[in-house]
Amino acid sequence: MIISLAVGYATITNGGFPGHSKAFAAPVTGLSLPGVSSSVPTTDASVFRASVINKTKRAEKPISSAQQEVAAQIQAFNATPTVVVATEDAVVRAAAVAPPPDLPPYQVYEVQEGDTVSSIGERFGISPEYIIANNVEIHDSDFLVLGQSILIPAGNGILHEIRYGETLSDIASRYDVDMQAIVDFRANGIGSADDVTENQLVYVPGGVPLPAAPLPEAEPIPDDAAPIEAPTPVPSDGSTGGGSSGG
């Protein structure tokens, strides 16, 4: 312990003890103390070099004219703002602009159980009198045959089949309506007042129903008519019914 302290002091003062020569100027060899090394560590003189970076650019392939055109289109597309229109708005606008669908002149309805003329008219929004006027086979508004097919007009109007020689003016006068109303109903397919043919079925909007034709009545039997006698029965043996002759 004492020796270690002495060596340390001599090293610090670079000489020796006061009043003494520099006896410990030379390094002491042959001493081995735990944790103390007599050799001076050497300094690593190696130099760290940065990794080599290849700054040479690779040769790029030439861009074809087609690729340049596609790139220009993509660039123009990205530069132009896209206007997104809601699908619902487009449908609403199209429905507002589009003309209403043409109504057919009539439709055929099959009578169901419990139907009456009044109930059918209420279902289709038509007055019962127009259902009767367009179906001559209906004589009783409260009596319909199950499964019977009846014509339901497009509205409160008359379905009329044009006869040979008739004109639209005649038909309009017959049902007390304006002739132009018949032409304007698009489902009739009439381009002009003279564009009608025989047997063509037209719908007369607002036509006044004609009075129903009276049913034929049975001929009355006069009171003074002679009673009709029943024929005399003929016997099964072929005789006339008289007395037998003697002989």
pLDDT digits (tens, 9 = 90+) for 157-210: 999 999 999 999 999 999 999 999 999 999 998 888 888 899 999 999 999 998
CA 150/CA 82 separation, integer angstroms: 56
Whether the predicted pLDDT of 117 surpasses 80: yes
Give the model's pLDDT for residue 57.
56
pLDDT at residue 1, rounded to an integer: 66
Mean pLDDT for 58-62 is 64
**pLDDT confidence of residue 63:** 72
Q: Give the lowest-confidence range in 20-29, 71-80, 199-208.
A: 20-29
For the chain, domain boundaries: 1-35, 106-205
Q: Is this structure's pTM higher than 0.75?
A: no
- ∠ CA 129-131-135, nearest 5°, is 115
Cβ(12)–Cβ(5) under 8 Å? no
CATH (residue range 106-205): 3.10.350.10
Average pLDDT over residues 124-146: 90
The predicted pLDDT at position 11 comes to 61
For residue 107, is pLDDT > 60? Answer: yes
170 alpha-carbon distance from chain centroid = 45
- In the chain, the percentage of residues whose pLDDT exceeds 90 is 35
Q: Quote the pLDDT of residue 23.
A: 47
Helices (DSSP H) in 125-221: which residue ranges?
128-133, 168-174, 179-184
pLDDT at position 71 is 78
| Residue-level pLDDT at 68 | 79
Average of per-residue pLDDT across 21-49? 51
> Do residues 175 and 158 make contact, with C-beta atoms less than 8 angstroms apart?
yes
pLDDT surpasses 50 at 247: no
Rounded average pLDDT over 64-89: 68
Average of pLDDT values for 69-93?
Answer: 66
**pLDDT of the residue at 24:** 45
